[in-house]
Amino acid sequence: MPTRATSTPPAGARTPRTPRARAQRFPEVPEGTAPEPAGRGLKALREAAAACKRCDLWRPATQTVFGKGPARARIVVVGEQPGDREDLAGEPFIGPAGLLFRRALDELGIDADTLYLTNAVKHFKFEPRGKRRIHKQPTPAEQKACHLWLEREIATVKPEVVVCLGAIAAKAVFGAKFSLMKQHGRWQTLLDGRRAFATMHPSWVLRQPGDEERELAYRGFRDDLALLTAVDDAG
């Protein structure tokens, strides 16, 4: 049964930078811009995104959290934004929600290491509460500013399937009119011909108020992800 997890800094994680240290990063990159990639691959994209200042989220964040996975993955999974642990480690899907996602994949017999994992927004947006940093939803402008990195990742990886976790990811891929509550767990066809579907973000499962509610939400989440078993079988 899914349980609420406490977050501790991952091994090798960076200490959050002070405002002064953050402001001194990438002085050659003007505010509101990002450098163009020096090449066509994921490495060039990752290096360019590391210096992105297209919105103000780079200021409080520890670092850009770019996607990770095989350069020619058949499946790209898009989450919403990095969490506290991801921000410190610079790696997506390693916090409590990411671990729940990986658990569901494992139960379905899907190897997470074969997937390319990324987020619609590449910086962690939060508000401090004492010693904790609490997730805060990115504004539409912040989501729009980050969208080109997701577009370029998908264009570079060239997956067969795109999976969206949560409303922010779903709207980034399907458009603003997409209704996650009504359309989750259903195959969609993107304009470029790729197949895609959306499901709830695993953090939504963890936020359910009681054990029974979390278990029910988890089963629905896993059932949506089971669409991927057909992709795996087809390969």
pLDDT (tens, 9 = 90+) of the chain, 235 residues, equals 565 444 455 555 665 555 455 555 677 888 899 999 999 999 999 999 999 999 999 999 999 999 999 999 999 999 999 999 999 999 999 999 999 999 999 999 999 999 999 999 999 999 999 989 999 999 999 999 999 999 999 999 999 999 999 999 999 999 999 999 999 999 999 999 999 999 999 999 999 999 999 999 999 999 999 999 988 665 5
Do 187 and 163 form a contact (C-beta atoms < 8 A)?
no
Q: Which of 14, 124, 35, 15 is nearest to 79 (CA)?
A: 124
Any domain includes 20: no
Any domain includes 17: no
Any domain includes 21: no
> One-letter amino acid identity for 219?
R
Any domain includes 218: yes
pLDDT at 7: 46
Phi first, then psi, for residue 173 (nearest 5°) are -95, -45
Phi first, then psi, for residue 204 (nearest 5°) are -65, -40
Residue 172: which CATH number?
Answer: 3.40.470.10
Domain, as residue range, for 50: 30-234
For the chain, how far is it from start to end, CA to CA, in angstroms? 31
Any domain includes 191: yes
Strand (E) or helix (H) holding 181: helix 180-183
**How many domains are there within the chain?**
1
pTM for the complete prediction?
0.89
pLDDT at 235: 56
Any domain includes 64: yes
Any domain includes 228: yes
pLDDT at 2: 62
Place of tokens 């539409």: 140
Any domain includes 128: yes
Residue 205, CA distances (Å) to 67, 96, 217, 218 in order: 23, 11, 5, 6
137 Cβ partners below 8 Å, 6+ apart? 125, 168
Do 205 and 218 form a contact (C-beta atoms < 8 A)?
yes
Please give the full DSSP string across 20-62, using - where no structure is assigned: HHHHTS-TTSPTT--PPPSSSSHHHHHHHHTT--SSGGGTTSS
pLDDT at 18: 53
